[in-house]
Amino acid sequence: MPKIKTNRSAAKRFKVTGTGKIVRHHAKAAHIKTKKSPKLNRQLRASAIVHKSDEKRVKSMLGL
């Protein structure tokens, strides 16, 4: 049985924490920031944990 290749685009977007959780960045944080409130821009800067329903799919893409 061959090994599953890591999806390279997913590997650049997700990181695994020490406890095994998967960290992601927020969407809508890259451009057109002038019309967004300063509060929203601040909140989008922080990283987020991948939801439990998506975890299995992301882990398979990362080869975990």
Question: How confident is the model at residue 49, as a pLDDT?
Answer: 97
pLDDT at 2: 87
CA dihedral 35, 38, 40, 41 (to 10 degrees): 90
17 lies in a domain? yes
Average pLDDT of the residues in 5-32? 95
- The angle subtended at Cα 41 by Cα 38 and Cα 46, nearest 5°, is 135
Q: What is the pLDDT of residue 18?
A: 96
Please indicate, yes or no, if residue 57 is contained in any of the structural domains. Answer: yes
Cα radius of gyration rounded to whole Å, the chain:
15
What is the number of structural domains in the chain? 1
Q: How many residues does the chain have?
A: 64
23-57: pLDDT as tens digits: 999 999 999 999 999 999 999 999 999 999 999 99
CATH of the domain at 38: 4.10.410.60
Structural domain containing residue 33: 8-62
- Note whether residue 3 is domain-resident: no
